[in-house]
A and B are shown apart, each in its own frame.
Chain A
Amino acid sequence: AQTVTQSQPEMSVQEAETVTLSCTYDTSESDYYLFWYKQPPSRQMILVIRQEAYKQQNATENRFSVNFQKAAKSFSLKISDSQLGDAAMYFCAYWGNEDNNDMRFGAGTRLTVKP
């Protein structure tokens, strides 16, 4: 089964600075999707950004961008101009065609934003 690893349990960043959250995954598939979800203290899971594996171009959503390295099976999230509202748990997730509808999540990274 595919696995998703987030090696940073906690990260902190100064407001207005840039931070990168790491994610690696293990798969034998060539066609799959990768996601970053944000979970603030309210517990609501919010989609931050999505990347299709067949696309070479890295996805971007305003201040959020990814560095997708397919050969290295790496999918990092970069948050630019960090804001206090970015403080949350961030989960990397993998969804492939062989998983029978099972989206695999990493253990999460808790991001703290310092004013």
Chain B
Amino acid sequence: NAGVTQTPKFRVLKTGQSMTLLCAQDMNHEYMYWYRQDPGMGLRLIHYSVGEGTTAKGEVPDGYNVSRLKKQNFLLGLESAAPSQTSVYFCASSYLGHSGANVLTFGAGSRLTVL
């Protein structure tokens, strides 16, 4: 039972390069999320998706794009990486979003460094 899997786990980029983080979940969850974690700031929501083919902006969406072409996958893209995007990125999924009966299941995180 893999849960939520993120790839890659580590990546170093140069300013201006592009990359994509992949999140895959095998729990048939409807909702998926991308967060970033920075020291002293907890986790902040970048983008989220409430179902296949739909995405929405979170608290800090600038500089990122996402796609949810398949229910089990949620991709986070950086078109032109900046040093301010150096962070640890977490993907999470949940069933039925706001329902109190569910909780977020997180991936193990992806550490991205932009030089």
- B94 nearest CB across to chain A (Å): 9
- B13 nearest CB across to chain A (Å): 19
Tell me, in angstroms, the Cα distance from A91 to B97 when the chains sit together.
Answer: 20
User: Does chain A have a CB within 8 A of B12?
Assistant: no
How many B residues face the partner with a CB closer than 8 A? 24
Partner of B109, one of A43, A47, A101, A105: A43
Give the A-B contact count at a CB cut-off of 8 A: 52
Range for the number of chain A residues in contact with chain B: 20 to 34
Chain B residues with CB under 8 Å of A9's CB are 40
Tell me, in angstroms, the Cα distance from A52 to B58 when the chains sit together.
Answer: 23
Question: A101-B50, A105-B43 known; A52 and B103 CB under 8 Å?
Answer: no
Beta-carbon nearest neighbor of A103 in chain B: B104
Assess whether B98 is in contact with A105, with CB atoms less than 8 Å apart.
no
Assess whether A105 is in contact with B42, with CB atoms less than 8 Å apart.
yes
Partner of A107, one of B31, B41, B56, B108: B41
Known: A42-B108, A45-B43. 4 other contacts (CB 8 A): A9-B40, A102-B58, A107-B40, A108-B40
Which chain A residues have a beta carbon within 8 Å of chain B's beta carbons? 1, 4, 9, 33, 35, 42-45, 47, 50, 52, 91, 95, 97, 100-103, 105-108
Which chain B residues have a beta carbon within 8 Å of chain A's beta carbons? 31, 33, 40-45, 48, 50, 56, 58-59, 88, 90, 92, 97-98, 100, 103-104, 106, 108-109
Closest 10 pairs (CB-CB, A-B): A105-B42, A45-B106, A43-B109, A105-B43, A102-B45, A107-B42, A47-B103, A101-B48, A52-B100, A107-B40
